[in-house]
Amino acid sequence: MVKEANLQASYRNDEYERAIINSSLWAAAGDALGWITELSRGQEGVRYRTGKKHVTAPVAWQRTIGGRGGVRVDLPAGTYSDDTQLRLSVSRSIRGNGTFDVETFAKIEVTAWQGYSLGAGLGSKAAAANLSKRGINWFSNFFRSERQSYTNGGGNGAAMRIQPHVWGAAGAQPEMIRQVFRDAIVTHGHPHGFCGAVFHALCLWDTLASRSVPSIKRARDLISLLDDLSGIVEQDAELGQFWLPSWEREANKSFPIAIRDFQKDALADMRIADDIAASRTAQAYPMLLDRIGCLSDKFRGSGFKTALAALALSALYADRPVEDALAVSANELESDTDTIATMAGALMGAVTDRPPAWEIQDRGYLEKEARRLARIRLGQDQSTFLYPDVSLWEPPASQSDAVVRYNGGLALVGLGPLTPRSREYQAGNAVWQWFELPFGQTILAKRRVENTTLVGGDQMPGQSRMSTRPAARSDMDTRQDSFTFDHRNAPDSRGRLLSASTSAPSKGFPGIDEATDMVIASGFDDATLGRLIKQCIDETGSIDLTVSLSAIIAKARLARMRRR
């Protein structure tokens, strides 16, 4: 087990903010560098994109977007891909009091992301498309297509995005694990996917707690923490009552057995990694990638294996500049260059005292979100992104439907109006263009040439508001230490708040997730059940949502009756 002594790192407030900002910026830097070479088909492919066979820093480059019938677009130096895009989506979904709004992440952020995704994997895209369907919730996204299925989704699309849960962890380690797991299973249903996400989160947690990147040997202890994962899932009302039975039926395996099988495979890979890392040879990293399968088509994008590769790379280069490690990752062309580099950047950035000097897209917004998360962790009330009401939400049906007409201009549905920042790139009936969102993020968004979809204010976000409610406390075992801090504020770090809107929370229908929680917490009280179903009917006008709510509550009630 992890020794508690290693969870006692003490930070001044300004030190912790700096650690989180650097972790965020280096993660984006790794993504930006690695995306240049991802799927480049060798050094000649890199030369075609950049004019050089190797990359050592982000440069302006060009890439064909939209498949064979797409268009070649200009990408400024420091452009990041889906890794950082979804990391920012997760970050926005963490409220100012530290709670993770998984419902808005799944139904708004992930579905809107379809309209501006860059470099996304097949599994993440299939998951996003399925979430656009009515009646599909964050815990019921069991999609199946010709090439992908949920329970076979073991890619790294979850592991690459979960760092904000660690940066802003408002509770103890088990609560952080629960939030990461909730996030991961929105899109990935194979243990390599969701356990890989938890493993990377634990590596980052340990890095921050001990102020050093954990060794492979120490990381074996982190795998043992997955012994508690079944209990964490079962104690979560929605995971335990809705997701878990469906997952076991679809996977045809009990969850505890699946976790034990994963742990065996993970420890076997870690023994290989430990032996290679101990050799300290110049070829240790490429040798490790080959031996654990990260150069094969089957496991190149594995959530766990790429997280392990990122940890090994970070440990091997712990005494060298972060840039060197990221360049090594970016130039191993048969590997998942950007995701390994972004995870390594998050780990190494957390323990370096300097930010990257490279050009990075949206640096100011990345710093702002990282600072907000750090201050949440420090117990300071912070702003909350005010999404549209999920009960009234109309998700985009496809990638081309996310950009809509609103208030006389263009907008990204769910996230806000768009300000053009580049020329248009047209291919057939599709147009791509760089835009800036109101909060400072820039996106290359796709839309139809004939864009006639008009939406109202109920599909747009409101003004961010300050969260002052105490964060929800987990009823799980909280004996596991969280980080400790020296609360002496530095002269320039006295808890300044990032937003000042104080609008009261809505008293209307709270959404399916919260309504379900309220009914279960009431013991299926007749008055509570009737009131919430009536609110769902009256305020959403949606038969589909009302049927979904009724079905979820019925399933929970039947599950409880069977236990008796």
Section 92-111 average pLDDT = 96
Ranking 80-84, 294-298, 462-466 by mean pLDDT, the lowest is 462-466
Q: What is the DSSP string of 152-181?
A: G--BSTTGGG-HHHHHT--S-HHHHHHHHH
Strand stretches in 266-357, DSSP E? none
**Average of per-residue pLDDT values in the chain:** 88
Section 450-475 average pLDDT = 73
> 359: pLDDT confidence band, cut at 50, 70 and 90?
very high
Look at 12 and 477; give whichever has higher pLDDT: 12
Section 94-110 average pLDDT = 96
Section 294-305 average pLDDT = 92
Q: What pLDDT is attached to residue 214? A: 95
Look at 282 and 393; give whichever has higher pLDDT: 393
Tell me how far the alpha carbon of residue 458 is from its chain's centroid.
25
Nearest to 230 by CA among 240, 238, 243: 240
Q: What is the DSSP string of 211-268?
A: TSPPPHHHHHHHHHGGGGHHHHHHHSHHIIIIIHHHHHHHHTS-HHHHHHHHHHHHHH
Nearest to 404 by CA among 442, 460, 444, 464: 460
> 507: pLDDT confidence band, cut at 50, 70 and 90?
low
Ranking 191-195, 212-216, 217-221, 510-514 by mean pLDDT, the lowest is 510-514
> 540: pLDDT confidence band, cut at 50, 70 and 90?
confident
pTM beyond 0.75: the answer is yes
pLDDT digits (tens, 9 = 90+) for 366-386: 999 999 999 999 999 999 999
Give the position of tokens 């420090």.
378
Inform me whether the pLDDT recorded for 475 exceeds 90.
no
pLDDT digits (tens, 9 = 90+) for 219-243: 999 999 999 999 999 999 999 999 9
Q: How many Cβ atoms from other residues are within 10 Å of residue 278's Cβ?
A: 12
Section 48-72 average pLDDT = 88
Q: What pLDDT is attached to residue 486? A: 44
Q: What pLDDT is attached to residue 471? A: 43
Section 311-330 average pLDDT = 96
